Amino acid sequence: LNSCDLFFPDGISVIWIAKLRGHRLRKKDTGPELLREFCKMANGKGFSSYFYGDTDETLSLLTDRLTTDFPDLKIAGSYSPPFRELTAEEDDEIVRNINASGADVLWVGLGCPRQERWIYEHKDRLNIRIAVGVGAYFKFHSGQVKRAPGLIGNSGLEWLWRFVQEPRRMWRRVLIDGPQFVGHSLLELSGLRKYE
């Protein structure tokens, strides 16, 4: 995260901590909205996208929906990696395919922090202009997971909405990762601990 050029917070705890530290952020500036706005703009300007992550079914539904909403959108390709550690050969092949696609933007939907690590580890090998981690956006826009209604999302309870819909997928983030993040952030804000 420290090496990225632009960060769109997608969790209410990140928004709250940023506000406590004096940053002005709006909850609506998230990866899903960025991707949709990009597709709207790219629809007329010819920029192309490559989608990396999630399942073949999700990627198929995603590309169908995006090309329905934006008929002139250029999709250079998509790939669903296996849900296991990749071999060096597989990793090289994926990078070659992304580079050969000629995509302007690579959208990576592997979930946090895996997607951020993947982008960081591959940034010097990718011949693309921009790589963006978008979390669960592929599932949102494919219609497989419903986003929280505005009132719930804007009040900071989208995490609860997602947890109710996908308890197996979200339990660790809600019960372990989120509280740990808040705890470490409060330690840093109080001056009891310093992080580099």
Residue-level pLDDT at 75 = 96
Residue-wise pLDDT for 7-44, tens only, equals 666 667 777 777 788 877 665 555 567 888 899 999 98
Residue-level pLDDT at 7 = 65
**Spatial contact of 138 and 51, defined as CB atoms under 8 Å apart:** yes
Question: Which residue from 108, 101, 55, 111 is spatially nearest to 75, judged by alpha carbons?
Answer: 101
**Spatial contact of 53 and 108, defined as CB atoms under 8 Å apart:** yes
Helix axes 12-20 and 178-190, enclosed angle (nearest 10): 0
**Spatial contact of 138 and 39, defined as CB atoms under 8 Å apart:** no
Give the bridge partners for 52, in sequence order: 79, 108
Region of poorest pLDDT, from 62-71, 107-116, 122-131, 140-149: 140-149
pLDDT band (50, 70, 90) for residue 99: very high
Q: Is 122 helix (H, G, I), strand (E, B) or coil?
A: helix
Q: Which two tokens stand for residue 172?
A: 């660790």
Q: Which two tokens stand for residue 183?
A: 């705890």
How high is the mean pLDDT of the chain? 86
The residues, ordered by sequence, that sit 6+ positions from 27 with a Cβ below 8 Å of its Cβ are 9, 12, 15, 153, 154, 156
Residue-wise pLDDT for 139-163, tens only, equals 887 888 787 787 887 777 888 888 8
Model pTM above 0.75 = yes
Number of Cβ within a 10 Å radius of residue 51:
26
CA distance 100 to 160: 40
CA distance 36 to 8: 14
